[in-house]
Amino acid sequence: MSENKMLPVDLPKAYRLLNHGPTVLVSAQHEQDTDVMAAAWACALELTPAKVTIVLDKSTKTRQLVEQSGYFALQVPCYAQIDMVHQLGTISKFDNPNKLEDCHTQIFYQAGFDVPLVKDSLAWLICKVIPEPYIQQTHDLFIGSVIAAWADPRVFKDGHWHFQNVEKELKSLHYIAGGTFYLIGDEVKASI
Ligand SMILES: Cc1cc2nc3c(=O)[nH]c(=O)nc-3n(C[C@H](O)[C@H](O)[C@H](O)COP(=O)(O)O)c2cc1C
């Protein structure tokens, strides 16, 4: 089992972990029940205090755990995890109680937080739900206050992603549909 490579990210810079629009994994836990699902509809919402949004359909078990616990984590997965990501997005723990084992999803915890995190991801954001019952019910939209964030320094350092010269396995995934993803592409700079 590999050790996680993770360094803290300053919360005012946490939005950058999502700014490039990656597919994410959403994890949550209530008592002994833990789940993880894939999500394409995750977004930064505010710089300081750092906030994010995530769409969690009512059919998902992960949403139930988020509602019960009031916390979730977002992680940015990479190409090395593509099959796990797709499986986590096509199997519900409501249907398969062994979902995490069957998807080979390894969980770990950071000291001081009860929120499950997925091993070997590129970045992790632990979020506390800001309760907005109307938009949760009407639009399936959850707002989270980011209370801690980390990233793998091989790909995120000094407050920026550095995907240019990393191996394919460490590139972030961007979902299209039907099991098709794009990998993060070339870095280009505006000249003015
Ligand atoms: C790549 C991908 C992205 C997805 N994005 C979302 C999303 O943004 N919101 C959502 O509610 N479901 C999304 N889904 C579907 C959930 O991941 C799926 O319903 C999952 O099986 C729920 O698992 P659970 O019931 O164990 O929580 C996505 C699925 C895939 C494959």
CATH number at residue 175: 2.30.110.10
| pLDDT tops 80 at residue 101 | yes
Distances (CA, A) of 185 to 27, 90, 111, 162: 26, 26, 34, 11
> What SS3 class is residue 162?
coil
Instruction: Answer whether residue 121 is part of any domain.
Output: yes
Instruction: Answer whether residue 190 is part of any domain.
Output: no
Distances (CA, A) of 186 to 79, 116, 151, 166: 16, 32, 20, 11
pLDDT mean over 44-62: 98
- Where in the sequence is the domain holding 57, given as residue range(s)? 7-183
Instruction: Answer whether residue 188 is part of any domain.
Output: no
Average pLDDT, the chain: 97
Instruction: Answer whether residue 151 is part of any domain.
Output: yes
The CA 95 to ligand 1 mean position distance, Å, reads: 14
Instruction: Answer whether residue 17 is part of any domain.
Output: yes
Instruction: Answer whether residue 48 is part of any domain.
Output: yes
Report which ligand 1 atom has the smallest distance to the Cα of 39.
5
Instruction: Answer whether residue 192 is part of any domain.
Output: no
Structure tokens at 108: 């770990």
Query: In a mutational test of the pocket of ligand 1, which residue from 18, 60, 62 has the highest number of ligand atoms less than 8 Å from its CB?
Result: 60
The CA 46 to ligand 1 mean position distance, Å, reads: 24
pLDDT band at 4 (very low <50, low <70, confident <90, very high): confident
Number of domains present in the structure of the chain: 1
| pLDDT tops 50 at residue 151 | yes
Whether residue 66 has its Cβ less than 6 Å from ligand 1:
no
Distances (CA, A) of 156 to 2, 34, 49, 144, 188: 19, 27, 21, 22, 17
The whole-number pLDDT of residue 146 equals 98
Instruction: Answer whether residue 94 is part of any domain.
Output: yes
| pLDDT tops 70 at residue 1 | no
Query: In a mutational test of the pocket of ligand 1, which residue from 37, 64, 107 has the highest number of ligand atoms less than 8 Å from its CB?
Result: 37
